[in-house]
Amino acid sequence: MKIGILGLPFSGKTTLFEAITGAHGAAVERGTAAHEATVNVPDPRVDVLARAVNPRKTTYALMDFVDIPGVASDMKREQVVSVLSALREVDGLVHVVRWFDSPSAPPHPRGALDPRRDIAEIEAELCVADLDIVERRMEKLEKQIGRGQEVDKSRRELGLMERLKTALEGGGRIGAQNLTQEESALLRAYQFLSEKPMFYVLNVHEDALHRPETKALAESLGPNTVIIAARVEKEIAELEPSERAEFLQGLGIGEPAAHRVIRAGYAAIGLRSFLTQGDPEVRAWTIRAGDTALAAAGKIHSDIARGFIRAEVTAWRDFEKHGSMKEARNQGCQRLEGKEYVMEDGDIVLFRFKV
């Protein structure tokens, strides 16, 4: 899974990227190009299962982060389109919103701090970028209809594009429209930015981390909003692992930025993890909420999905209660499920298949 980081210039996007991924120095040339890095998804269940099974290898789920240069309405249109294109293939977006002033940081490009104004500006840029795609697609569909090519299909899609055009011109996100499953499937290929799930990181000075007004603002932005002092988090991420916990505790923070942002990303996008275990490897896999056992099998290998027979499933709570897979089986907690079984977060699964 992949999350794109965006925001206005000097919002702290790249500092957050460095704090989350550990990339810094020569690996991050600020302001010129998109940066990408992959991090492990922290999951204590993987650690517990690995201690019980003692595998030769332990593998966590992965999350990719893409950081782009700052986007603003006073940039040239072609420059904005080019910068935002790096986010077309991500699964979700995190908007870094600045709410700090510092003598050591460049001033806010809009002068005074105003998180809602900044959010509206970025939202508008996403809608304009999508509107450009919609209008070009409408021109192509009209030509197809004029030539008599797939007339009924083209007219249906043209009607959908006209609806989206109206919404985007009014500042409405595509993701906020009431689309049918068929319409959503049709739009998937266009990778619209305003259709992607989005959550916010409120970037503050470390002195403001626990202020009531900071918490109130974060809550007003949405349930998955994360409060972070990105500059300090970056400095902590550069310490030796043994020293990090002490500094986080001193700030009244229970866990590093990467953990909180990844968890918020999972919630915003609607992601789940399932686990597999055996002698060679304990591993976590990422799926979407609502995915079936067949879809989960395909995440491991297409052959497993193609030859799917059944899934042997143990709920995480049952493993945790009984302390081992053997005891969970002895207590009748292992279930046999078919292709249509909807996976639960933390399911421990063994897929039986034949090809």
pLDDT tens-digit map of 58-103: 999 999 999 999 988 788 888 888 899 999 999 999 999 999 988 8
Q: What is the pLDDT, as a whole number, of residue 255?
A: 86
Looking at residue 28, its pLDDT comes to: 47
Range from 80-89, 163-172, 216-225, 248-257 carrying the lowest mean pLDDT: 248-257
Kindly list the distances between the CA atom of residue 300 and the CA atoms of 141, 283, 350, in Å, as whole numbers in the listed order.
Answer: 39, 10, 11
pLDDT of residue 29: 52
Helix (H, G, I), strand (E, B) or coil at 34: coil
In the chain, what percentage of residues exceed pLDDT 90? 74
- What pLDDT shows up at residue 27? 46
Distance CA 320, CA 46 (A): 12
Q: What is the mean pLDDT of residues 210-233?
A: 94
CB burial of 88-123 (b: ≥16 within 10 Å; e: otherwise) equals eebbbbbbbbbbbeeeeeeebebeeeebeebbebbb
Does 240 score more than 80 pLDDT? yes
Q: Which residues pair with 59 in a beta bridge?
A: 283
Mean pLDDT for the stretch of residues 299-322: 96
DSSP H helices in the chain: 13-21, 44-53, 77-84, 115-146, 151-169, 181-187, 212-221, 230-237, 241-250, 257-269, 293-300, 302-306, 316-322, 325-330
Cα-flanking dihedrals φ and ψ of residue 93, to 5°? -125, 140
Which residues are paired to 292 by β-bridges? Answer: 342
Q: What is the mean pLDDT of residues 113-125?
A: 94
Query: What sign does the CA torsion over 84, 98, 74, 187 have?
Result: positive
Residue 26, pLDDT > 50, answer no
pLDDT computed for residue 24 by the predictor: 60
Domain 290-353 = CATH 3.10.20.30: yes
Weakest mean pLDDT among 9-13, 27-31, 243-247, 295-299: 27-31
Q: Say how far apart CA 20 and CA 228 lie, in whole Å.
A: 11
pLDDT digits (tens, 9 = 90+) for 242-274: 788 888 888 888 788 889 999 999 999 999 999
Which residues, 6+ apart, have CB-to-CB distance to 100 below 8 Å? 12, 113, 203, 204, 205, 208, 229
Residue type, 209: L
With pLDDT > 70 as the criterion, what percentage of the chain qualifies?
Answer: 97
Compute the C-alpha angle 165/84/286, nearest 5°.
95
